Amino acid sequence: MRGPFSISSRLTISLLSSGYVRAVSLPGCQLTGAPQQKTLNNVHTGQLSVPGSPFGLVYASQEDTAFVSLDISLVNSTLGVLNTSTFTPTLINQVPLQAGHTNSEGALGITLTHDGRHVLASAGPGSFVVDVARAVAGSPDAVVGALNGSVGPQMPGVTAIEVTVTLDDEYAFVSQEYGSTQTGNRGDIDVFKLHRPSANGSVSGTAIGYLTLGYEVVGTVLSPDGSILYATSENTARAGTTNVTTLGSLSIIDVETLKTDPSNALVSNVTAGCQPVRNIVSSDGKVVWLTARGSNHLLAFNASKLVSDPDDALLASVEVGTSPVGLTFARNESRILTADSNRFNYTNATTGLSVVDVDAALSGKPAVLGRIPTGLFPREFAASPNGNTILVADNESNEVQVIDVSTLP
């Protein structure tokens, strides 16, 4: 078997359509602040203060509503409902998420089902299921189910972080950052079969099993055709350590196999810089982008080569701001924004959003157009359905920031 976790930087040769050959090298660990970038002063932004640390964000099917997971206190997480009909949103309701769970980590990653009926919010051992219409109406019965990762003997984790739903809304995949002793403290993906159509509106999930990956499994994203799940593992060292010599990985997972036989669903792994944490896929399915937080870099991989020739899949490596976490496309995928969190408070480092020119990045040209200032620890994004607005969760300054996409360079 190939050695997927080679520590040394490898060279990848990309043959571009323009005909010249370019070498892209995988960045190592750079556990310091990134160089300062030009500040973009003409981007129109706004801020909404929220009563806790925001983490995940997602729009409803319509432009006028979004959701944000909020950590109010150690024992009190809520799903905030935002009215986004005005440029700066307002917080109209909060759905309490603590019932039935001893969650110490709070509510983290959230996602919307493809039919727009439910929001899934990861917390503690699994994910809460929230009915969108009831949440918007402020109804007290908005939590309609919970997917519990720790109850069955086969389900390991209590550190659910992100959740992804298949295109047909039949299955949910929950990343458990630290797994459990059953996974040797490696992270894993928990698989649930969803049962949603019950007459009383309740939703349940049958635990199918799990797939163990590397250490600190966090970001998950589906390919646009729903056939592949991409998942990042921050580390190859023991969970919870900060062993700077080990790089993380991106795992390529076959969704059909994951549904029925999770432990056999891994297709390939590729080394993906230092602490890869969040990932997105272009809408044509051809390029997978991720943030390598400990490298201060945005990386791009050729999706077909991630399966056929992983060691030769790296397409682009762009130095962004300090400790990037979230990332999102903007302006018809001609731009990517990274949430440069500076979560470790490096000396002289700033937080912000790097604005990256996608074509320039893929052609190996200087690609960062500048930095949009943010609050503390910008973490995750949501783009509105019409693409005009982007929301950012500023985790450590308890605010949701809003970006007017038409004012991006």
Ligand X SMILES: *[C@@H]1O[C@H](CO)[C@@H](O)[C@H](O)[C@H]1NC(C)=O
Structure tokens at 17: 């359509």
Q: Which residue is nearest to ligand X (CB)?
A: 71
CB of 154 to ligand X, least distance (A): 14
Cα–Cα dist 119/165, whole Å: 10
Q: Which is nearer to ligand X, 22 or 331 (CB)?
A: 331
Q: Which is nearer to ligand X, 143 or 320 (CB)?
A: 143
Is residue 147 within 8 Å of 174, Cβ to Cβ? yes
Structure tokens at 7: 């520590």
CB of 260 to ligand X, least distance (A): 19
Residues near 152 by beta carbon (within 8 Å), at least 6 away in sequence: 207
The one-character DSSP state at 182 is G
CB of 297 to ligand X, least distance (A): 18
CB of 237 to ligand X, least distance (A): 5
Q: Which is nearer to ligand X, 96 or 226 (CB)?
A: 96
Q: Which is nearer to ligand X, 377 or 381 (CB)?
A: 377
CB of 379 to ligand X, least distance (A): 7
Residues near 206 by beta carbon (within 8 Å), at least 6 away in sequence: 192, 193, 195
Cα–Cα dist 299/290, whole Å: 5
Q: Which is nearer to ligand X, 97 or 320 (CB)?
A: 97
CB of 247 to ligand X, least distance (A): 10
Q: Which helix (H) or strand (E) holds 383?
A: strand 378-383
Structure tokens at 226: 């729903």
Cα–Cα dist 351/366, whole Å: 20
Binding site for ligand X (CB under 6 A): 4, 51, 53, 55, 71-72, 76, 78, 83, 85-86, 92, 94, 96, 100-102, 106, 108, 136, 146, 148, 151, 198, 200, 202, 213-214, 237, 241, 243, 245-246, 266, 268-269, 286-287, 302, 304-305, 315, 331-332, 344-345, 347-348, 376-377, 395-396
Cα–Cα dist 274/324, whole Å: 11
Q: Which is nearer to ligand X, 240 or 366 (CB)?
A: 240
Residue 321 CA, distance from chain mean position: 17
